[in-house]
Amino acid sequence: MDARQTRRREHLANELDAFAHWYVEPDPSSAGHFLALTLFAEFHDTARVARDMTAEFLRGTGANEFVDDARLAVSELVGNVVNHAVPDRRLAHPGAARRIDVTFKMWPKWLFIGVTDEDSTPPLLPAGETFCPGLMGELSEAVLPDSGRGLLIVQRLAAAVWWTPGDKGGKTVWCRLDLDDGAESTPIR
């Protein structure tokens, strides 16, 4: 087996290990941490509260170097719910605020962040660059796409971004930050 195949197998093993850890709630005895927040989209400071709670959670776990990236990812994901999510009919209640649940699952190697809303519409995850990176500096901001920037930012910050449908409607958009400097999770090309 050559070095490239070995790296691919290691990468796949690390991705499967991360998936297995995402799937369960951390047990504090395993150096894992868990936090779930419920916010409401109609409050004027929802995104600020989400950012502040993200920072407090990470500082409390000693992951200070990831605070800025995680705060920005949470801000973008919560902002998408505030600006774009329309609750499914069966989840909507006249006059009720739209619910946003933010979940943090932290292990020594990973931080998983999930933002749940009441809209079952899949997010439009950007597939790639709209323009060649070398051309980006020469383009006016008016030429850039109007939507998808937030998820593009999250994709650049995170090792992985995906979504899962809710059992009773709605969805959760997830991202994973690698806390081990991404050394083991760098994609093999």
Residue 88's pLDDT is 86
Distance CA 111, CA 115 (A): 13
Beta bridge mates, 39: 100
Statement: residue 102 has pLDDT above 80: yes
Burial of 145 (0-12, 13-18, 19+ CB in 10 A): exposed
Secondary structure (DSSP) of 5-32: HHHHHHHHHHHHHHHHHHTSPPPGGGT-
- CA nearest neighbour of 78 among 88, 70, 68: 70
Residue 185, pLDDT score: 41
Residue 37 has pLDDT above 90, yes or no: yes
What is the average pLDDT score of the chain? 82
Instruction: Report the C-alpha gap between 149 and 166 in whole angstroms.
Output: 24
pLDDT, residue 126, reads 73
pTM, rounded to two decimals? 0.76
What confidence score (pLDDT) does residue 186 get? Answer: 42
Amino acid (1-letter code) at residue 97: A
- The CA distance from 8 to 120, in Å, is 34
- Average pLDDT (103-111) is 91
